[in-house]
Structure 1
Amino acid sequence: MGKFSRMGAAALAAALSFSMVAPISANAEIMKNYDAATDTYTYCNEDTNEVVTFKADEGKMEDTSLLYNEKKVYYVNVGQYMEIPSIYTTPDVVKFTGFKSSSKNLKLRMYDSFEATNTGSPKYAYYKKVDGKKLYFYRDVNGNMQSAEWDALKEMYKGSGWYRLQFYAKKPGKYKVNFNAVNAQGAVVANKSITIIAKADTRAIKSITFAGKNVLKDTDGDGRDDYRNYYAKTGNYTTKKKGKLVVTANKGYKIKKLEISSAVVAADKPDDGWEGTKNKGTEEVDINGNGRTDDVVNGQSEKSVNRVWKTIKNKKTLKLSTTSEDAEVDYSLVNKKDNSKTKVRKTNGIIHPTFLRVTYYDTKNKRTVREVYELWLLKK
């Protein structure tokens, strides 16, 4: 997971917050694994248990998002214009038309769109050699995985489009949006639809409390995390080193697992010509226990691990990390040829992050999703 950038004075207030106000990342995941001993890649959809595997010289993953089942349910807040992720055509159709809401209580606006004919290349998930043939695997307009050789795929592909939609829901409810899939000859080959659920709070995670305080507090009732007023008395900060952690999901989501990790501070090699100690923010870890650190395990390279996750239980006491992420840049070095030359850097960070990874199941779309939050402990 990516780290926050170093914070300047303008962002210091945010650093003093117990900042779980928005996830660092929120992803449904295809689990990527690489076995260096056999030079083999394996990709697994953890919800369907579908597996794609190939040797490095016989295949390549192009777009893991196409391995997911098609997403058909989206959430929007009532009384706000909200955009959903772009909708893309598949290689067997050139455009979508006739987007229409099923109710006057759900306004639909085409915010942005793109359509092209006889240009570009078809989107595919991956290619691999099968019986000596190089086959390209792609999703068709009905969401089924198909395969074809490149020339045949190019011949079928005549154009593409993508569409960004905004919605305004007047009332809570469940709505349908219908549209048509059109091929290169102008014929409608499929009738498509998505479901829009309008509600007050569209977040998967309803609340996260630490030591009795809801650090995902929604103070203005719009269903979104509030985090700009860092100096307010209700601001999300803590000096408590431990407390009960309670994570609650909204309707339509089920929590599967909670994990925590602290900042990694490991020993690094001194600069050339120097000796002493030097830190870094990653370390080598034998995650799968096979005695090597050259594999990729569930998307994590063993050679460069910056988060070591530990499973915890919900509604139990959590002890926050006291490791400063800033310490990864510390060093104390002496020149090998001239010991009068030294280099010392020592940080004394006042914030200590604990990373919380929440794995939950989206029951409407039948997808497992992970969100990572940062919990900041303020040093007294």
Structure 2
Amino acid sequence: MPPPPPTETSTLTLTPNAPAPLIRWDEGGQPQQALWRCESGGAVPHKVVLADDRINADTAWRLASGGTVLLWRGDFHNARLLLQALARRVDRKPHKAHTPASITEAFHLHRMAQAQRARLLGAVLIPVDADHAIPLRRAPDLHAALGEAWGAAGGQPSVVSLRELLGLVGAHEWRKKGVEIAALKGRIHPHYGVFSPVRGEYVDLVAQAPLPSETLAFDIGTGTGVLAALLVRRGVEHVVATDTDPRALACAADNLARLGCTARVELLKTDLFPSGRAPLVVCNPPWLPGKPSSALEHAIYDPDSRMLRGFLSGLAAHLAPGGEGWLILSDLAEHLGLRTRETLTSWFDAAGLRVIDRLDIRPRHPKAADSSDPLHAARAAELTSLWRLGAV
């Protein structure tokens, strides 16, 4: 029998992040330092120059291309204009573009280009005071966005790339607005660093699959909590939702409270499975084997398919008799040549699992129809599947 649902909302205790490294530079003949904020975990820049409204885009481009970053001391809006000018230079198509020999090579070249673009556009740095104010002319008030991403103000001044700072603002707006989820008849409000369920196909699959039981379900890697909430909406009496990321757990707690699902969902900070067995275990792991370069990319890239293989290898031991594991997975990795279908099904066999059924859905996102995308052939062929798995 499932454990009784909690009668009141519990408070999550979040583990604080490790102290950020320091960025150092000289200013006015004096050594200076501040916390280095970089969501991707990139190395602290060592070649730092001060820049303001007098610098032109060509000089900034030359410095950024050589690995020098620009700590901005001018007008905030002029810094944005400079960033836009750098972006135009990055996005110019080379005169003699290399033609990839395969879709796999195209994927790796695409990721390399993305990393190079991020490095160059990350060269414009913005100072932030300890109270989350930005000490630049015409700087906006970003206290709310910075507080959501970094926590309460206080401590030390910091430095962050303008590109990442604008990402914080975008995340703040998404959090306020939320994402409409038709299957929920409600909205999910993603927090900074937690992947938004903007691709709703996988949610639709979970809404349509026949429930093996309404007593108990495990939601592995809950993220925003969207699938846990959907299972509650479908009548599941108790859901245990797990994640290792404190941001995700806080985000899930917020969304479950907004949707009135708190009393029927237990949130646990643990890797993969909670203890015990359930008649339904659901997991939507990252779809592509690869190394993530930011917190958001952890929802897309799974190094060496660790989460996918961990879920499959432990699933049978956490299924109640006659229970089902629902694996929600895109086959994009197969179309990109990163993993074969035979490899995936061999992992099923090795884990003592059998396929009960498979539900498929086509993607609806714009890139699936964008013929200019270098990965268009793979995206156009993509299917997202809900594999209904049972123990042998």
- With the shorter chain as reference, the TM-score category is under 0.3
**Structure (1 or 2) with the larger CA radius of gyration:** 1
TM-score (norm 1): 0.26
- Larger RCO of the pair (alpha carbons < 8 Å, separation 6+): 1
TM-score (norm 2): 0.25
Determine which structure has the larger helix proportion and give its number: 2
